Amino acid sequence: MTVLVLGGAGYIGSHTVDRLLSKGYDVAIVDNLVTGHKESVPAAARLYVGDVRDKEFMRSVFKKEDVEGVVHFAAFSVVPESMKDPLKYFDNNTYGMINLLEVMNEFGVKNIVFSSTAATYGEPEHTPIEEGDPQVPTNPYGQSKLMMEQIMHWADVAYGIKFVALRYFNVAGAKADGSIGEDHAPETHLIPIILQVANGQRDKLQIFGDDYPTPDGTNVRDYVQVVDLADAHICALKYLAAGNKSDAFNIGSATGFSNLQILKAARKVTGKEIPAEMAPRRPGDPSTLIAASGKARSVLGWDPQYDDIDAIIGSAWKWHESHPQGYATK
Shortest Å distance, C-beta 259 to ligand UDP: 5
When asked if residue 92 is in the footprint of ligand NAD (CB under 6 A), the reply is yes
Identify the residue among 94, 143, 170, 270 touching ligand NAD (CB under 6 A): 170
Alpha carbon separation from 28 to 16, 44, 110, 164, 303 (Å, rounded): 12, 9, 17, 19, 26
When asked if residue 185 is in the footprint of ligand NAD (CB under 6 A), the reply is no
55 vs 282, which CB is nearer to ligand UDP? 282
Q: CB under 5 to 8 A by kind: which of ligand UDP, ligand NAD, none does 263 bind? A: none
277 neighbors 206 (Cβ within 8 angstroms): yes
Torsion of CA 89, 93, 94, 98, to 10 degrees: 150
Total residues contacting ligand NAD by CB under 6 A comes to: 28
Identify the residue among 4, 27, 32, 97 touching ligand NAD (CB under 6 A): 32
221 neighbors 169 (Cβ within 8 angstroms): yes
Identify the residue among 155, 193, 234, 235 touching ligand UDP (CB under 6 A): 193
The catalytic residue among 25, 141, 168, 239 is: 141
27 neighbors 42 (Cβ within 8 angstroms): no
When asked if residue 188 is in the footprint of ligand UDP (CB under 6 A), the reply is yes
State CA 255 to chain mean position distance.
18
- Distance in angstroms (rounded) separating the CA atoms of residues 61 and 216: 50
- Which phi and psi (to 5°) does residue 150 adopt? -65, -40
Identify the residue among 143, 219, 250, 315 touching ligand UDP (CB under 6 A): 219
Interface pattern 65-84 for ligand NAD (x via CB under 6 A) = --------xxx-x-------
Instruction: Give the DSSP letter of residue 172.
Output: E
> Alpha-carbon Rg of the chain, whole angstroms?
19
Query: SS3 of 262, please?
Result: helix
Identify the residue among 40, 135, 259, 293 touching ligand UDP (CB under 6 A): 259
Shortest Å distance, C-beta 144 to ligand UDP: 14
Does residue 141 have an active-site annotation?
Answer: yes
When asked if residue 122 is in the footprint of ligand NAD (CB under 6 A), the reply is no
- Distance in angstroms (rounded) separating the CA atoms of residues 236 and 228: 13
Q: Which stretch binds ligand UDP (CB under 6 A): 93-101, 159-167, 177-185, 187-195?
A: 187-195
When asked if residue 264 is in the footprint of ligand UDP (CB under 6 A), the reply is no
- DSSP of 112-137: EEEEEEGGGTBS-SSSSBPTTS--B-
The residue with its CB nearest to ligand UDP is: 219
29 neighbors 41 (Cβ within 8 angstroms): yes
- Of 14-53, which residues contact ligand UDP (CB under 6 A)? none
Q: Which stretch binds ligand UDP (CB under 6 A): 10-18, 93-101, 153-161, 203-211?
A: 203-211
Three-class SS of 207-220: EECCCCCCCCCCCE
- Whether omega for the bond prior to residue 124 falls within 30 degrees of 0, making it cis, is no
When asked if residue 285 is in the footprint of ligand UDP (CB under 6 A), the reply is yes
Q: Which H or E run contains 58? A: helix 55-64
What residue ranges bind ligand NAD (CB under 6 A)? Answer: 7, 9-13, 30-36, 51-53, 73-75, 77, 92, 96, 115, 117, 168, 170-171, 184
Any idea which residues carry the catalytic annotation? 141
